[in-house]
Amino acid sequence: MVDPRPFDVFATDCPSRSVLDHVTSRWGALTLAALRPGPRRFNDVARAIGGISDRMLSQTLKTLEGDGLVVRDEQPGGQRVEYALTPEGERIADATRHLIDALYEVMPTLLAPRSAGA
């Protein structure tokens, strides 16, 4: 029987491991989530993600583009560039959004011991 999942993120040499690293990095996850509503220009993505430098956003977008999760669409004349998720990127962004939503749900419980001890 053929394994339906030939990739193993627990194996150090599996190519899915590096993509997982990119997707689960702070800036990777936030960039994917910021692009989920639809294509955006660079500055719009930067505004959506508080605290990210232009250099880090550029690097993150290039990395996610290299992974096949983001596409860079340069309009004729080069005056307008938009970034969008590929279908695979949308799938990963949806999972990232679920993680973010779950985090929002549990935050009051996670913060309760901190405020009780303060």
Residues 74, 31: Cα–Cα separation, whole Å: 19
| In-domain check, residue 3 | no
Q: Check pLDDT > 70 for residue 89.
A: yes
Q: Check pLDDT > 80 for residue 2.
A: no
pLDDT at 6: 85
pLDDT at 103: 96
Amino acid at 88: E
Instruction: Name 71's bridge partners.
Output: 84
Cβ pair 35, 93 in contact under 8 A: yes
- Tokens 């930067």 belong to residue: 46
- Tokens 């985090």 belong to residue: 103
pLDDT class of 113 with cuts at 50, 70, 90: confident
* pLDDT, mean of residues 51-65: 98
| In-domain check, residue 10 | no
| In-domain check, residue 5 | no
* pLDDT, mean of residues 40-69: 97
The model's pLDDT over 3-52, given as tens digits with 9 standing for 90+, comes to 667 889 999 999 999 999 999 999 999 999 999 999 999 999 999 999 99
| In-domain check, residue 2 | no
| CATH number of domain containing 36 | 1.10.10.10
Q: Which long-range contacts (CB under 8 A, 24 or more apart) does 81-84 make?
A: 81/41, 81/42, 82/39, 82/40, 82/41, 83/35, 83/39, 83/40, 83/41, 83/42, 83/45, 84/35, 84/38, 84/39, 84/40
Q: Which residues contact 89 (CB under 8 A, 6 or more apart)?
A: 32, 35, 64, 68, 69, 70
pLDDT at 75: 83
pLDDT at 5: 73
Range of the domain at 32: 15-117
Number of separate domains in the chain:
1
| In-domain check, residue 104 | yes
pLDDT at 32: 98
